[in-house]
Chain A
């Protein structure tokens, strides 16, 4: 054997490598590289909490400082995963508490986090600094209080869209009385009132505070008082803006905002009355991120605001912006990178908004840096998709939700195959794609063939047959996450491409035609896949050919999980045992 890199040298080299993908590659080179890498990895990311056991992760990365975990499948965001499915944080917190006491940061997404978990975190990690919970549930404000009280070095506490049992605003008073090290606080998802005096005092004794996201219970008066105490904020989530306009209140608000010279990101703005918008004008020129998705502001007030935001990179807005508003965005917001347009009336019967595919076409033409799109629209055309693909080949994320299922190109009555073909072919860097509208198997042939870098693909109400799945699983080289709903096929393609499933993180299929028989065969064929059948009715009481309600298939080295609820059926790898409920808690 030739020269060998001394481990100290390798360690030094690795200290420059942050990306976990690169570190994963490094760890595959040879045993000594594996060892050096694992002892130096500080930031650990586990995309599926059931893919590996907490103990194994804790053991492998003893120097872990930051842990990021994801639990439930993405479609849980849209109520497609029944309550109680799983994704419990406890085993992870327990394992880390035992093996990695130097842990400083925990970020959890779509997991069940209890007050016990939070108390354990507070008690176990002396240098704990960052807690970010996104779309989590299972805890109350008591758990938050424990974190606030005990974690003396807490810098970041963010509750993003969590479902929290809100026992009142007392938790705020648990932060240390002396100065805090808080840099970011986000409690926008809590419902109940916090004492404004508690908030004011907290803000006053948090000199490092840069990001503050309030909940809707905080009034405009409260906001003014807080802004006065924290003019250094770079990110602000306001409370509710719905108060009656009084001229004195307006000028105070205006003045408070104009003193926030470093504000870059603005959100909240619940029910903001158009009369209040001019109070924001002073911060507009500096804004890079604006989230108006809870603001019921319509045109032309929206344009008055947006035309002042020349540095805007990220815009989230309701479809109340209409096509003409987006035309204005295209001409004023030349730095725009990310656009999300949400439906203000998700029930089709009420849809009367003049937002069409044209709005997105305007932005695609005018905003050269646009790379991420989420667009809800009642119907679409192939021509628009072709234009978007042609104008914006740099798109990295394209999620189009045509709200009317099976809606064809409304001008030609054809499926949207050609349009999505253009997107897949033209946008060579596309990493994430969501398709909708009327789509035949052909569309997926194109996607399979051309979408080489797509890692995450979401499909609803589409395709004609098993061919759709066949095209996707035999193409899409980079596919990691596939989620499908309401497409009536499955078995053949699934079994044919079983090996592909091991190269992916997960596959979700609900309201499709995947039979229980196929699930059994798949599970027995693939030892390193967990095949979960999520169905209220025991699959064994029905013929093997009948479809199951939902399946969730993911690769794992941890074997079948032990915490499944009644409605999750894990198919045993041993054919003689059949189906079981491995519900040992």
Chain B
């Protein structure tokens, strides 16, 4: 008799300490009595149904199982993400695994510090802007749904053939939405235009201290002049799209997910 349960990730992060220290930051030490071999098949325990992303509370034994289970990806959520983003089952699981490994606080959400801990991202000149793209206005935590919704912008476009839905909303990884992602990297104040100042600031991030203000100013002015069509000395999204119409956005803004 074969049946499948929730997929889960157990590994270093599954063995958690008791509830009152589950929110600890920095060095987390597991007590010697923490569960070394939790029951590997969670669906057999009815008490395990907790939504992912909720913090845990409670007395010791249930707290151990509970906080462990809170890192589970519920079937229902998996299906919703599948529908929303178009990732396949076998792509979502390793991405969830990655999400939990970045989540050092083990509360089902990522903060900006969690992203900054990735060295290759920390040395990226636009690292901060990219991290910002994950967080919505005023929020400083992103859950797995939000994480996937941002990642999906980089899904290659041909995958859309599988879920052709003419009447539905435009898929998140369409050319237009990819360009919108890039536009938002420039648009610091989210007012749907790239002003001269904003372009200057982003350029400054990319070049560091290696180019003088005057040179950078010239580059900015030239760029805006070339792109601006309605004479407002700023780049709107339509103008942005026009400038980049010859660029192979699909290839440059796509990440090839395996499987």
Asked if A and B bind, the verdict is: no
Q: B interface vs A, CB < 8 Å?
A: none
Q: A interface vs B, CB < 8 Å?
A: none
